[in-house]
Amino acid sequence: MNSRFTTYAAGFIVLSAAVADVRSTLSPGARKEIASVEAEINRIEAQTLVRVGQGSMDRSQQVILLGKLLFYDRELSVRRNEACAFCHMPETGFSGPVSTLNQTTVSYPGSIRSRFSERSPQTHTYASYSPVLHYSEGQGDFVGGAFWDMRATGLQLNSPLAEQAQGPPLNPMEMGLIDAACMVYRASERPYRPMAERVWGAQAFAVKWPGDVKSVCERPGPAATSDLLPVHLAPVDRGIVQATFDQIAQAIAAYEGSEEVNSFSSKFDLVMADKAKFTPEEQTGYDLFRSKATHCNECHRDGGPGEEPLFTDFTASNLGLPANRAIPYYEESSADGFGFTANARGLKFDDTGVGGFLGGPKNPDGKWTSQAKSFIGKYKTPTLRNVDKRPRPDFVKAYMHNGYLKSLEEVVHFYNTRDSLPACKAGDPGEKVSCWPPPEHAETMNRRQLGRLGLSTKDESEIVAFLKTLTDGYAGGK
């Protein structure tokens, strides 16, 4: 950067690399919202801890409760300040809970608050239904996995969601632990340890920890390439740690797959059960959603023989979205105070999505590599359930992998007019209304199912009305 700082609306200021450890400052509004989210996380954790000693629970209940405790535990991050829930709160359908960040930075600060990742938080609701990643010859598509780029395949733990749960703790831009052993060590010091040992066995934390484990685990990741496992353990102890790390992930996935997270309690569900009725606008929107004119139901499936109405087909697509340079990751191009450079390419960074995963070192199946080029710029199709769930009417949500779109109205308008409106540059007058910036990856863009749908303004609003019926917790009325 040539200037001392760049400001993104009211949410975030990126300072020059000369500012030692902290290159970023969150706005007062963002800090206030974050403090509120953190207080709610603490409240939920405390409330859940009380249940540990109450009454008898069967094994399933114990595993789910343990997973919830792990999910809301801020102590499991390097600075003891960020739980999994920080990016996935129930009031927003287990997606990003900070309106100011959704409106500006899109991605969320990690445990090291000056570090931001490159994408928006995904919803966790109904993600447990995603199958282990596989290539479907019949569909000519990859199906399943977790994360926007499908990289949590589920091949090792037979659960994409469990493998997804292992990502943020070791991601230096998220929870930031330097070694998987650190998560196990921190969990061993928490009040739910006895319950964990009852569920997983007495061996779960029977590890001979080195004398420096506490100080090592206070160092932010990533680990140096010369010492990839800086908590130095004997081979058997390392094996115990890995097994417990897997069980932690599986418990979190069990909570995320529970009825508390996936309640099927939207107005749509009640209508399907003949316990409620759509308004005329909602019904017309649903008819449009299912029509051949919009193609919505082809990827966001509302059920069929043997299918739950999950509003996703678990495949990937390139919608032709413009890049979103408001994401702070583009500015993280020099070493921070810990010597870590998140994005050496800076503004030249190109998020290649599923194609980047398939062509990279984390691809576990060599047969998939040949598909990498055709999946550049594609991202996993999210569920539409809870797509409008928010704690208050003025709360802003960020849509798509880069959060470029900020409302359902913008989303539907983009699907409808991407190719029929003139091109413009980001920031031009009329952007998102009468013109669209060019796609980040035109070569693999979905041109068949969206872009020029020919819908009227009224049609768009009716589809939005239907999408709002997918919010869980419907209590009756309109």
Helix (H, G, I), strand (E, B) or coil at 239: helix
Please report the pLDDT score of residue 18 as a whole number: 30
Please report the pLDDT score of residue 10 as a whole number: 41
Q: Quick one: 354 exposed, middle or buried, by C-beta within 10 A (0-12, 13-18, 19+)?
A: buried
Task: Provide the whole-model pTM.
Answer: 0.94
Q: Could you tell me which of 92, 83, 97 has the C-alpha nearest to residue 45? A: 83
Domains and CATH numbers, the chain: 5-260+328-375 (1.10.760.10), 265-307+407-478 (no CATH)
Chain-centroid distance, C-alpha 418: 25
Q: Could you tell me which of 272, 474, 288, 296 has the C-alpha nearest to residue 383? A: 296
Q: Give the Å distances, CA to CA, from 278 to 89, 407, 430, 475.
A: 28, 22, 34, 14
How far apart CA 428 and CA 322 sit, in angstroms, is 13
Please report the pLDDT score of residue 477 as a whole number: 60
Token readout for 302 is 């509302």
How far apart CA 36 and CA 98 sit, in angstroms, is 9
Q: Give the Å distances, CA to CA, from 65 to 80, 322, 433.
A: 21, 41, 46
Q: What is the mean pLDDT of each run of 10 residues along the chain (478 residues)?
A: 36 37 68 97 97 86 98 98 98 98 97 96 97 95 98 98 98 98 98 96 98 98 98 98 98 98 98 97 98 96 89 98 97 96 97 98 97 98 98 98 98 98 97 98 96 98 98 84
